[in-house]
A and B are shown apart, each in its own frame.
Chain A
C-alpha cells in the first residue's frame, strides 16, 4: 500500500491532523469522538492489526488527558500513533476492546494509574496496585513525595565515621534528610505550593470519596 492510499484512508476522518515523523511512524491527532472510527478504518482497510500499547499523558495545565493508541501493521511495517484528548474532570472514554483484544490490559492499567474509566471494557478492576485505595498515582496532582512523607518513617543513620569525614570537610554534600525534609532539590516555590496544597486536603487520601 502506498503512502498516498494510506493518507487517503486517514483523510476520510474530517478533523484529522497527520504528521509524518518518519516513513514508518505516523502521528495522527483526532478528536475523541472519531478515534474508534479511525482505528476501525486502519484495522479494516490498512492492515493495522496489532495494538502495541495505549498510553496516557496527564496535561494538568490544559485540564486534559491525552490517550495515545499505538497501532502497528506487519505488512506496512509502520506504526500509527493516534493521539486524542479527553476532559480531565470527566475522565471517561470508550473501550476499543471489541476491536483489539489486548486493549483489555492497557485500559485496566490506565484506569488504575490515571483513573480514566473505559466504558465497556470487560475488567475495570484492580490490576497491579491491589492494595491501593488512594488517588491514581500517575496523575500529576498526586504528590508521591508528600505521600511517602506521610506514610513511611525513615531510618536515622548517622555513624561516627561519616561525622568524622564531614568534620574533615568531606562526606556527603547534601544529606538525605535535607532532601527529604526541605526539598532542596526542588525550587522553593514548588515546595511552598505543595505545603499549601497539603493544608487544603490530605494528599493521596479521600480521592473520589
Chain B
C-alpha cells in the first residue's frame, strides 16, 4: 500500500519583502508592523476542549488585554484564528472558510495536541491531523490542554514574529497561503473531494493584492477552475 504522495511545498524563503529605498517609508512600515503586533483581535474557533483555557487567559488572572489582545466575533474583524482542539473533517471545511474570510495579515494558532497530530483522536477516520496542511499555522501550542501561561507564551511568540515580519525571513506565515495556494488546495481537495470550493476567491484576491507566487497556480487550481461557480461581485449598472 503506497502512501499518497503529497506535493512538497515550494521554497518558502523567497517571501522576504523588498525594502523600500525611501527611509521614511521603512519607518512607516515598521510603525505599522509595530502596531499590528500590539493590537491583535482574535477569533476563537472553539472546536474542542481547549476553549476552556481561553476565559482564564482573558479575564482578571492573566488579562490578555494588557498585551493588546482582545476577542472579536466575526472573521472579518479578527487577526488571529485560534483553533482550539480537534478538527473533524466537517469542521475543517468551516475552519477553512473562516480562515479565508479573515483579512490579511492574518495568523493561525493551533491550540492543543489535537491540532498538531490529532491528539487523542489520532486513529479517528473523521479527524484531520495536521492543521498546517490546510492553512499556514503560525504557532502551535501543544498540550492537552495547554495552561493559560502557555497560551500567553504562544501569543507573545506570535507578537515577536509579527514585529520582525519584514526584518527576518521567519515571519508570519499568512502570505504562504496565497503564494502556495495550490499546495493547500490540493490537500483540501484530497480530503473533501473534487467539488470542493469556498465562496472566497483566493486566486482573485492574490491577483488583486499582488500576492501571487510560484505556487499559486498548479494542477489543483486547474481542477478547481473546472468545477468552480465563480462569484463575481455585483456591479452597479445604469
Contacts and interface: CB of A to CB of B under 8 A. Distances in A.
A203 B125 CA distance: 12
B193 A152 contact: no
A141 interface: no
A155 B130 contact: yes
A93 interface: no
A63 interface: no
A153 B125 contact: no
A152 B126 contact: no
Contact of B128 (A152, A180, A202): A152
Contacts of B129: 148, 152-155
A48 B87 CA distance: 40
A204 B1 contact: no
A49 to B, nearest CB: 34
A157 B117 contact: yes
Contact of B122 (A133, A157, A180): A180
Contact of B118 (A130, A146, A152): A152
Nearest to B190: A151
A11 interface: no
Chain B contact residues: helix, strand, loop or mixed: loop
Contact of A155 (B6, B116, B193): B116
Given A150-B3, A155-B130, A144 B116 contact: no
Contacts of B4: 150-151
A169 interface: no
Contacts of A153: 6, 129-130, 133
A199 B89 CA distance: 27
B122 A148 contact: yes
A62 interface: no
Contact of A131 (B6, B90, B132): B90
B124 interface: yes
Nearest to A134: B125
B143 to A, nearest CB: 12
Contacts of B190: 151
B123 interface: yes
A198 interface: yes
Contacts of A137: 125-126
B97 interface: no
A1 interface: no
Contacts of A199: 1
B31 interface: no
A178 B110 CA distance: 24
Given A148-B122, A153-B133, A180-B122, A131 B117 contact: no
A145 interface: yes
Nearest 10 CB-CB pairings of A with B: A152-B129, A144-B125, A198-B1, A147-B125, A145-B123, A155-B117, A155-B130, A155-B116, A137-B125, A144-B123
14 contacts: A130-B90, A131-B89, A137-B126, A145-B123, A148-B123, A150-B4, A151-B4, A151-B190, A151-B191, A152-B130, A153-B130, A154-B130, A157-B117, A176-B122
Given A152-B128, A202-B1, 17 more contacts: A128-B90, A131-B90, A145-B123, A146-B1, A147-B125, A148-B122, A148-B129, A150-B1, A152-B129, A153-B129, A155-B116, A155-B129, A157-B142, A176-B117, A180-B122, A203-B1, A204-B125
